[in-house]
Amino acid sequence: MTRRLAFNLFDMTTTGHLAQGLWRHPDTERLQVHTLAFWTAQARRAETGLFDALFLADVLGVYEGYRGTRDTAVREGVQVPNYDPLLLVPAMAAVTDHLGFVVTASTSYEPPFAFARRASTLDHLTDGRVGWNVVTSYLPNAARNFGHREEIPHGERYQIAEEYLEVLYKLWEGSWDDDAVRHDTAGGVFSDPAKVHAIDHSGEHFRVAGPHLVDPSPQRTPVLYQAGASPTGLAFAGRHAEAVFVGGSTAEIVARGVRAIREAAEQAGRDPQAVKVFAELGVVTAESTPAAREKLAALDAFASIEGYLAKTAGGGPDLLAYEPDELVERLHERGASGAAGYNRFPPGTTVGQAIDSLRSVGQGAFFAVGSGAEVADRIEEWAAQTGLDGFNLRQAITPGSVDDFIAHVVPELQARGRYRTSYEETVLRERVAGSGPRLAASHPGARFRGAFAER
């Protein structure tokens, strides 16, 4: 049976998300990312293209790893300026009916009570179309923006995240009973006070009284996305994530990542297939193979190697600090800090080859250039090789990259039974997890249902 694949449009409320230097391309509108018009158009476009969701990445600081300064990131517009992603969702929701919105928010720096309220507000305003990409944040500058002298150690960040989620589950799942809101005009009961509960959480990192300020939204807990790759991160994802974003420089490495995620879910007592696994996808497509290759060359003419180096060095090695014939996977042993920047280059890549690869937007394990049929072929192959459930489509320029995908690749995938032809679900969780609107009973968040109810 042909398996349908899931596609999110990958974006960020910044000009230079993943395509560095491309802000200079004459056909891009990404210098308008500070306007509502840009985002309402983008949301309409994504819904026209029947994407599962618009997935908004985020960081809370600037990239300063490259040559020990933020100067290149600032000059090249590498994810700076960078606006608050949550604030774009309501305006985009107002012009769409089905599209999901996955927002990235960190568990490391802001109080859970306030975030619980924001997420519940968004879930109400979107009628249950919100997902949350849970991150613990990794940029040293982010830590220094929030009162820390340096990054919170990785293990501790995950301990905080674990307790943070517990607080949220208590607020989202346990604080208000399903029938708490009455709107009983005759009896004068807006909500039944016996069914609205304090949570009185008191843990190592947080103390939160409650009750939650917001009544139950369609999904209560937003759909949970995660991207942990370390053993700690993987275990965390296995426990909590309903969708996981995996990295990897080859299909084989990604396939291992997919298996590892499913095993982690199983170890946490959950259905391994209940976790949907996504990877990043880059596409340059046109009506013909030559036209697509020509388009790629025209895009690559604007690619900024300095911009990519600044981005890569945010969570990995400053490649220019090493000899060209050194293997990238050895740099860690040589004392280079970070980890996120390493896994974009296949094993055996030398520093020189790695730098050279940054001269093109065609990076990563899953990049396809060609006609719609050729791109669809690649996507089907990669899905078969890896067991991936879907992809996050990155953009080189906007709206071009999206429009091209919708015009050339989507119809091809639809004809092969790989892509939806209309929206069928009511809330995002039904689309992602196949059931809903609430968390599955086997999910750890579900144990707080009724946990504070009077017995």
Minimum distance from residue 392 beta carbon to its own copies (Å): 23
**Residue 70 found at the interface with its own copies (CB under 8 A):** yes
Nearest C-alpha neighbor of 108 from the set 14, 222, 206, 13: 206
To which residue do tokens 């297939």 refer? Answer: 273
- Report the relative pairing of strands 53-57 and 181-184 from DSSP bridges: unpaired
Minimum distance from residue 47 beta carbon to its own copies (Å): 15
* Options 27, 68, 179, 209; binder of its own copies; rule CB under 8 A: 209
* Options 3, 27, 81, 451; binder of its own copies; rule CB under 8 A: 81
* Options 99, 122, 328, 354; binder of its own copies; rule CB under 8 A: 122
Residues 324-336, buried b or exposed e (16+ Cβ, 10 A)? eebbbeebeeeeb
- Contact segment (CB under 8 A) with its own copies among 103-111, 273-281, 334-342, 425-433 equals 103-111
The neighbour count for residue 225, using CB atoms within 10 Å, is 27
- Contact segment (CB under 8 A) with its own copies among 189-197, 367-375, 376-384, 427-435 equals 189-197
Site size for its own copies (CB under 8 A): 76
Nearer to its own copies, 110 or 252 (CB): 110
Amino acid identity, residue 314? G
- Contact segment (CB under 8 A) with its own copies among 56-64, 224-232, 291-299, 440-448 equals 56-64
The neighbour count for residue 87, using CB atoms within 10 Å, is 14
**Residue 346 found at the interface with its own copies (CB under 8 A):** no
**Residue 324 found at the interface with its own copies (CB under 8 A):** no
**Residue 252 found at the interface with its own copies (CB under 8 A):** no
- Contact segment (CB under 8 A) with its own copies among 139-147, 221-229, 313-321, 414-422 equals 139-147
Query: Which residues between 368 and 387 bind its own copies (CB under 8 A)?
Result: none
Print the binding letters for residues 149-168 with its own copies: x by CB under 8 A, - otherwise: x-------------------
* Options 8, 52, 55, 61; binder of its own copies; rule CB under 8 A: 61
Nearer to its own copies, 40 or 250 (CB): 40
* Options 6, 19, 54, 62; binder of its own copies; rule CB under 8 A: 62
Nearer to its own copies, 181 or 327 (CB): 181
**Residue 454 found at the interface with its own copies (CB under 8 A):** no
To which residue do tokens 């992602």 refer? Answer: 432
To which residue do tokens 């996120």 refer? Answer: 340
Nearer to its own copies, 211 or 372 (CB): 211
**Residue 253 found at the interface with its own copies (CB under 8 A):** no
- The CA distance from 139 to 285, in Å, is 34
**Residue 68 found at the interface with its own copies (CB under 8 A):** no
Minimum distance from residue 284 beta carbon to its own copies (Å): 21
Minimum distance from residue 9 beta carbon to its own copies (Å): 19
Query: Which residues between 290 and 309 bind its own copies (CB under 8 A)?
Result: 304
Nearer to its own copies, 127 or 430 (CB): 127
* Options 77, 128, 131, 338; binder of its own copies; rule CB under 8 A: 77
Nearer to its own copies, 61 or 174 (CB): 61
* Options 17, 45, 98, 118; binder of its own copies; rule CB under 8 A: 118
- Report the relative pairing of strands 367-371 and 276-286 from DSSP bridges: parallel
Query: Which residues between 20 and 49 bind its own copies (CB under 8 A)?
Result: 21, 23-24, 31, 34-36, 40
- Please give the distance of CA 150 from its chain centroid, rounded to a whole number: 25
* Options 41, 50, 152, 196; binder of its own copies; rule CB under 8 A: 196
